[in-house]
Amino acid sequence: MPNGGPDCCGNCSHNKAVQEMAHPQPEPRERFWQISHCTLRNVKVSNPFWTYCKNFNYGKHPESRTQDEQLNGWITASGLYEGYVRIPWDHNNEPHVSIPTTCSICGRKTDEGIEINHNDAILGFCTNRHYIEWWLSVHHDDSFQADHFESPEERFKRKKLSGI
Ligand code: SF4
Ligand SMILES: [Zn+2]
pLDDT at 1 over 50: no
Alpha-carbon span 131 to 54, nearest angstrom? 21
Task: Name the residue ranges covered by the structural domains of the chain.
Answer: 9-59, 90-162
Alpha-carbon span 157 to 120, nearest angstrom? 33
Alpha-carbon span 57 to 72, nearest angstrom? 12
pLDDT for 23 equals 63
pLDDT at 153 over 90: yes
Contact by Cβ (8 Å): 58, 81 = no
Atom of ligand 1 nearest to the CA of 13: 8
Give this prediction's pTM. Answer: 0.92
Q: Cα dihedral angle (122, 127, 100, 98), rounded to 10 degrees?
A: -100
Alpha-carbon span 50 to 88, nearest angstrom? 12
Alpha-carbon span 135 to 44, nearest angstrom? 21
Alpha-carbon span 95 to 59, nearest angstrom? 25
Could you tell me the distance, in angstroms and rounded to a whole number, from the CA of residue 40 to the centre of ligand 2?
34
pLDDT for 154 equals 93
Could you tell me the distance, in angstroms and rounded to a whole number, from the CA of residue 154 to the centre of ligand 1?
32
- Ligand 2 being an ion, which residues bring their Cβ within 5 A of it? 103, 105-106, 108, 126, 130
Whether residue 55 has its Cβ less than 6 Å from ligand 1: yes
Q: What angle do CA 151, 153, 159 make, to 5 degrees?
A: 100
pLDDT at 2 over 70: no
The tens digit of pLDDT for each residue in 60-118 reads 889 989 999 999 999 999 999 999 999 999 999 999 999 999 999 999 999 999 999 99
